[in-house]
Structures are given as C-alpha cells and as structure tokens.
Amino acid sequence: MSKLATSPARRLVTVPGVGLIAVVLTVSAPLWVPLALACDVARGRTRLPAARLLSFGLWWAWMETLGVTVSTALWCAGRSQRRDAHYRLQGWWAGRLVAGLGVLAGLRIEVDGIEALDGGPLVICGRHASLADSLLPAWMLAVSGPMRPRYVMKRELLLDPCLDIVGNRVPNCFVDRDAPDSSRELDGIERLARDMGPLDAAVIYPEGGVVTGARRWRTMGRLLERDPGRYTRMAVLSHLAPPRAKGTIALLRGAPDADVVLMAHVGLEGLGRVAGAARQIPLREPVRVRLQRIPRSELPPEQDLPAWLDDRWLEMDGWIESETRRRDSTGSMTAKADVS
C-alpha cells in the first residue's frame, strides 16, 4: 500500500480522529447550530442545507465511532474472524447512515426490481454518481434478505475507520486505481469472487469513481485519443462515463456461475460534492433505483463483454435521461402551481 500508512499506524490516526470529531461536534453544537441556521437564513436558503449537512456530519461521526466500538468488542470477545457478526454490523451501519440521510437530507428510496437480488452469486454493476450510492447495495441486500455484499473499493477509503476495520474482516478488495501495472489489482478482484455462493454478491462501480460533468469530459477526452471508434459510440452519454470492463470481467472470471445485476438510479447526482449537496438538500423527490438481473447464460463470451457492458451503459444512460426529464417536468409543474 504505497500511498497509505500500514494498518496499525493508519488506525492510530483515523480511529481517535473520528472519535474526536464526534465529541467536538457534539460539545460545540450550541455554537455551530445557531451559526449554521443564521448563515442559511442570511443567504435565503430556507431549506437550511448548512445546518443539515453539519448535522449529518455529526451523525456520521457517531456511527463511525459506534461501529469501531462494536468491532473492537468483537475482537476482544475473540470473534474478529466471525463473518456473520461483521456482516450484521455492516448492514446495521449502512442502515443507520441511510436513516440519517432520510431524516436530515430527505432521502427516500424507491426500488424497482428488488427481486433481482434474490439469491446469488451476483455481480452488481452500479452507477457511481455520489458517495451516497455506495450505501445502496449494502442497504438493499440487508433489506431484501440475508445477502452478503463484498465490494471493490478504492484504497483511499481505508481512511474511513469502519470500512478499514470491518472491511478487512469480511471479503472486500481495496484497489490502487493509479497502480502502474493493473494486473495485481485485477488478480485481487478475481480472487474476491472465487468463493462466492448463493448468499454472496460482489459490488463494483465500472466507471471507476464518482462521475461529475468534469470527470466525464476528461474521460471522454482520453478515450478519443486511445480509441476514436469507441469514443464515437459512447459520445452520446449524457449522465454516465464509459465503463471500465476489466474489473467486471475479473469478477465474472472468478465467479463463473454469477448472474449480473445492473444498478441504475436517479436522484443522488447532487450529492457528489459538498457544494452540490448544499443546493440539493433536502431532496425534493425520492431516489429511484432500477435493478435489472441478467442470467449468466445470456452473457456473451469474455472477449465480447466490453462491448456488451458498453451497450448496457448506453441503455442505462437513456433510462436516466428519461427519468431526469420526467422529474424536471414534474418540478416545473409544481413550481407553476406554487406561483399560482
């Protein structure tokens, strides 16, 4: 792990650091709550986004602290290798964060096709529009049944104490996206999927990171240089970035019996950055998630999977565009009704 400290040294900083944030935000709440409210009112932001964001920061810090406390208790009880206990902890943690977003950010989730998660092994390929959508698979799998997610995540997320400790006690793969040789990372992704069974689902975000407008244009610019033909085909994308197929192929190679579930969603785009979140919170409409399961028998040969994934991404982008236009139309009609 070239860019991060070793686990003990890292945790000596991150664990007490998050605990300190929780205590400081709690003790100083009588100061920052009225200041945040005053700032919102002074700027005419009647939805009080600053107060909501800071309040969620407090909630997150305490959920991290509680998660680390429980994981430490499991270690002290000699249960650090018990995956079932840590999966329950992970589901609880994701559920509490989603609940916090519900109260403080107005998050409501509508899922179309939840039955797609009934039984594995699965490889879930999701849109990555914000950090919040990383919680969706863990939350949905915990709600729909006793399914166990295993994530492909960037190594920078090891700076999150709960993801670091619990994420290293259950199967996950933390990858270095800037590695000069990706073969080692792909081998790790393939190993992650090898022992998956009926209760397991591997989660990957093929776009490689949270997609913003600027990131999409940079990705398309690089694609134009490397592969003009694919650029022409994928240039119609309005919301998504072209997927990187190698990680998905590695998961499917490691789990030759796994079906694929495509996860599209609309409504979380504004939460990709803090500035955008301040304009969107509280969310006016429910986040809509669409799950589509493709049986393994319908997948093409491995050499054709990149083009197949591109096709699925183009279809997903079309659905997102349709949903976005519907929401914009509904919002316009609501605004006109309010004015009248």
DSSP string, 275-290: HHHHHHPSPSSPEEEE
Average predicted confidence (pLDDT) for the chain: 88
Binning the chain into helix, strand and coil, the percentages to the nearest 5 are: 60, 10, 25
Q: Tell me which residue of 298, 302, 262 sits closest to 112, measured CA to CA.
A: 262
Q: Provide the pLDDT for residue 46.
A: 84
Q: Is the CB of residue 287 less than 8 Å from the CB of residue 108?
A: yes
Q: Give the pLDDT of residue 120.
A: 81
pLDDT of 335 higher than 90: no
pLDDT at site 331: 60
pLDDT value at 212 more than 90? no
Is the pLDDT at 330 greater than 90, yes or no? no
Contact 320, 240 (CB under 8 A): yes
Share of the chain above pLDDT 90, in %: 64
200, pLDDT greater than 80: yes
From CA 293, how far away is CA 145, in angstroms rounded? 16
Q: In the prediction, which pLDDT does 2 show?
A: 42
Whether the model clears a pTM of 0.85, i.e. scores above it, the answer is yes
At residue 333, the pLDDT reads 40
Kindly report the number of other CB atoms within 10 A of residue 134's CB atom: 20
pLDDT in tens, 93-118: 999 999 999 999 889 999 999 999 99
Give me the mean pLDDT over the 113-134 stretch. Answer: 91
> Predicted confidence band at 216 (pLDDT cuts at 50, 70, 90)?
confident
Q: Quote the pLDDT of residue 289.
A: 95
Whether the CB-CB separation of 85 and 79 falls below 8 Å is answered with yes
Q: List, for residues 229-265, the tens digit of each pLDDT value.
A: 999 999 999 999 999 999 999 999 999 999 999 999 9
Inform me whether the pLDDT recorded for 134 exceeds 90.
no
User: Which tokens belong to 338?
Assistant: 């309010």
Confidence of residue 147 (pLDDT cuts 50, 70, 90): confident
Which residues have CB under 8 Å from 199's CB, separation 6+? 120, 146, 147, 148
Cβ atoms within 10 Å of 99's Cβ, excluding its own: 14
| 20-74 residue pLDDT tens | 999 999 999 999 999 999 998 998 888 898 899 999 999 999 999 999 999 999 9
| Model pLDDT for residues 3-26, shown as the tens digit of each residue | 555 688 899 999 999 999 999 999
Percentage, residues of the chain above pLDDT 70: 93
* pLDDT one-digit tens code per residue, 297-311: 999 999 999 999 999
Instruction: Give dist(CA 142, CA 320) in Å, integer.
Output: 25
The answer, yes or no, to whether residue 277 has pLDDT greater than 60, is yes
The pLDDT of residue 96 is 92
8-state DSSP, 118: S
The pLDDT assigned to 47 comes to 86
Strand partners, 156: none
CB 167 within 8 A of CB 151: yes
